[in-house]
Amino acid sequence: MNTKTEETKHTMYQYLEGVKKTIKKGFSPRAKMSDFESALEEHLEALRQEQIFSRAQLMNCRQANTDLQLRIHSLEHAAFVNGQANLAAGDQLREAQALIQSQRQAIADMYMASRAVRP
């Protein structure tokens, strides 16, 4: 898109230079002016097309940014939920370890009591 704009700009300035040369020679630049006006119109159209293309790219970038922000938000939420689940699982694990420890202690007490009863 940019090369088209550069080409039309170059052409426009060539025609403008022709108009200037015609004026310097003392002639009426009427014929050269119509060529210059056509080149100017073509250049302005190329600029308009470039602007439309740039706006479309901007809209695509904004949409991509919004999509990424939504993904980041969902990942942060998932990490928070996962952290809460890990805390709950840690609590359950500690409770289970405490229960196992108390059961081991009860088994050890029963074993010692059974050895004390046996002659």
pLDDT at 31 (0 to 100): 73
Tell me which residue of 91, 23, 118, 16 sits closest to 99, measured CA to CA: 91
What's the rounded Cα separation, in Å, for the pair 31 and 13? 16
pLDDT of 100: 96
The count of structural domains within the chain is: 1
pLDDT at 2: 67
What pLDDT does residue 19 have? Answer: 83
Residue span of the structural domain in which 38 resides: 2-117
In this prediction the pTM is 0.57
Number of residues assigned to the chain: 119
SS3 1: coil
Nearest to 20 by CA among 34, 10, 32, 3: 32
Per-residue confidence of the chain (119 residues) as pLDDT tens digits? Answer: 568 888 888 888 888 888 888 888 877 777 778 888 888 899 999 999 999 999 999 999 999 999 999 999 999 999 999 999 999 999 999 999 999 999 999 999 998 988 887 66
pLDDT of residue 35: 84
**Four-point Cα dihedral 86, 91, 96, 97, nearest 10:** 100
